């Protein structure tokens, strides 16, 4: 893993080079190599030949090592620029000036060295050129002209360098944006899977709970009372509930993306179906002025009601259940209340499943909250019952 990381670091520098860097190095090398054969023999002395040859050799080292060892390559490039600039005084045909400008241009356009390094090499090259010109007794105009040319070349190279840095930053930003979009899509997919799992859990929990109640009634009718007709009727109801549950599970995912019916209508149908299936009284009440709600809130309250009715049928069978939906100015309040069960309470005597926890999590996704508690009792008949209250801002 360490070797993989090191290889990635080594590949990061070549990957940041501009597409035309090979062309630039080729042009620079051609200019460097062609400068020496085209120099006037009377303009270049023996010492100047050595200095210019050293500058050319350093340039070739720079081109050779730029990808393998960038630091050593930049040092060689700096030496090439300084030696060429130091020879501008005795060589008056422009050969040394061309080589110095090529080296400084490559240095100033390079994105790896820091600006301070570029400025330091540039200042050293200008000082070397001025000193070389003064020692060679060149005119002030020639000396200052050479210095000005080197400075202009560096300024143009720095402008190109800034453009490359901004282009590289834009590429990295684009890559980060793509990665962020991919992560967002992945998070959305995980969230969708969680929603699908929650929907399937609620559908199957309701269907299996209602099926268990019907089978218990059928068993009691057949084994204790010997009522075959009523027992068969319960078995048929259980079979229908199983078929409906399977069909609803198959279409749970599609239902997430389809238009859901109005909450009042859907709750009325759910309450009526629950009363028919469990042979109990289910009263449905509506308070306030009904209004359109977002599909997420409608599905959330509908699933909450179904879970609460299933729990009521399981823990307090054959007791009246009241479902009340109140439309308030800034919220919607749902209350499902059932009477006491056989043990005097409307809730399970032992540890229950994940029904209440699932309802709380579902309501939290739409900014709502859930309260489940015993009914303190507005009348003797309701005292000891159980109520589930859900409230969602809407």
The pLDDT of residue 190: 75
The pLDDT of residue 40: 78
End-to-end CA distance of the chain: 53
Tell me the mean pLDDT in the region 269-293.
85
pTM: 0.50
The pLDDT of residue 239: 79
Whether 136 contacts 113, CB under 8 Å: no
Specify the CATH number for 262-394; select among 3.30.300.30, 3.40.50.970, 3.20.20.80, 3.30.565.10: 3.30.565.10
| Confidence class for position 11, pLDDT limits 50, 70, 90 | very low
Give the residue with greater pLDDT, 162 vs 188.
162
The pLDDT of residue 76: 93
| Confidence class for position 384, pLDDT limits 50, 70, 90 | low
Cα 273 from Cα 373, distance rounded (Å)? 25
Q: At 36, list the tokens.
A: 């020496």
Cα 125 from Cα 130, distance rounded (Å)? 9
Please say if the pLDDT value at position 380 is more than 50. no
Q: Which long-range contacts (CB under 8 A, 24 or more apart) does 292-296 make?
A: 292/262, 293/263, 293/332, 293/394, 294/366, 294/394, 295/259, 295/260, 296/365, 296/366
Q: So where are the chain's domains?
A: 2-182, 262-394
Cα 39 from Cα 30, distance rounded (Å)? 14
The pLDDT of residue 348: 40
Whether 133 contacts 89, CB under 8 Å: yes
| Tens-digit pLDDT profile for residues 196-242 | 777 677 777 767 777 777 788 888 877 877 777 877 887 887 777 77
Provide, rounded to the nearest whole percent, the portion of the chain with pLDDT above 90.
Answer: 24
Q: Where are the alpha helices (DSSP H) in the chain?
A: 2-16, 21-35, 46-65, 70-86, 95-109, 115-135, 140-220, 228-250, 252-257, 263-278, 295-315, 355-365
List, in sequence order, every residue forming a beta bridge with 338; answer none if it has no partner.
321, 386
| Tens-digit pLDDT profile for residues 166-180 | 888 898 899 998 898
| Tens-digit pLDDT profile for residues 243-270 | 777 766 665 555 455 556 788 988 888 8
Please say if the pLDDT value at position 9 is more than 50. no
**What is the average pLDDT score of the chain?**
80
**Phi/psi at 168 (nearest 5 deg)?**
-65, -40
């Amino acid at each position: 893993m360490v070797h993989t990381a090191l290889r990635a670091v080594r590949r990061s520098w070549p990957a940041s080079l501009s597409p035309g860097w090979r062309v630039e190095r080729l042009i620079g090398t051609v200019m460097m190599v062609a400068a020496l054969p085209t120099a006037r023999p009377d303009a270049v002395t023996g010492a100047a030949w050595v200095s210019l040859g050293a500058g050319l050799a350093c340039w070739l080292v720079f081109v050779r090592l730029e990808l393998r060892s960038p630091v050593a390559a930049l040092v060689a490039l700096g030496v090439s620029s300084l030696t060429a600039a130091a020879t501008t005084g005795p060589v008056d045909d422009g050969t040394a000036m061309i080589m110095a400008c090529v080296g400084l241009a490559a240095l100033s356009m390079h994105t790896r060295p820091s600006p301070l390094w570029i400025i330091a090499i540039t200042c050293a090259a200008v000082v070397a050129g001025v000193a070389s010109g003064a020692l060679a007794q060149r005119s002030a105009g020639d000396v200052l002209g050479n210095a000005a040319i080197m400075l202009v070349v560096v300024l143009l190279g720095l402008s190109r360098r800034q453009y490359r840095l901004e282009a590289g930053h834009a590429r990295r930003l684009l890559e980060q944006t793509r990665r962020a979009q991919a992560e967002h899509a992945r998070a959305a997919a995980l969230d969708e899977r969680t929603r699908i799992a929650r929907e399937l859990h609620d559908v199957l929990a309701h269907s299996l709970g209602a099926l268990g109640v019907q089978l218990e009634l059928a068993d009691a009718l057949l084994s204790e009372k010997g009522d075959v007709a009523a027992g068969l009727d319960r078995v048929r109801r259980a079979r229908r509930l199983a078929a409906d549950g399977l069909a609803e599970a198959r279409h749970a995912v599609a239902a997430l993306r389809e238009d859901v019916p109005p909450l009042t209508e859907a709750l009325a149908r759910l309450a009526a179906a629950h009363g028919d299936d469990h042979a109990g009284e289910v009263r449905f009440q509506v308070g306030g002025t009904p209004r359109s709600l977002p599909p997420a809130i409608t599905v959330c309250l509908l699933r909450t009601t179904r879970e609460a009715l299933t729990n009521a049928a399981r823990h307090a069978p054959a007791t009246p259940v009241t479902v009340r939906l109140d439309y308030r100015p800034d919220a919607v309040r749902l209350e499902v209340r059932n009477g006491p069960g056989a043990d005097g309470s409307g809730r399970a005597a032992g540890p229950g499943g994940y029904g209440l926890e699932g309802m709380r999590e579902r309501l939290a996704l739409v900014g709502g909250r859930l309260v489940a508690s015993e009914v303190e009792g507005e009348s003797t008949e309701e005292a000891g019952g159980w109520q589930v209250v859900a409230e969602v801002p809407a």
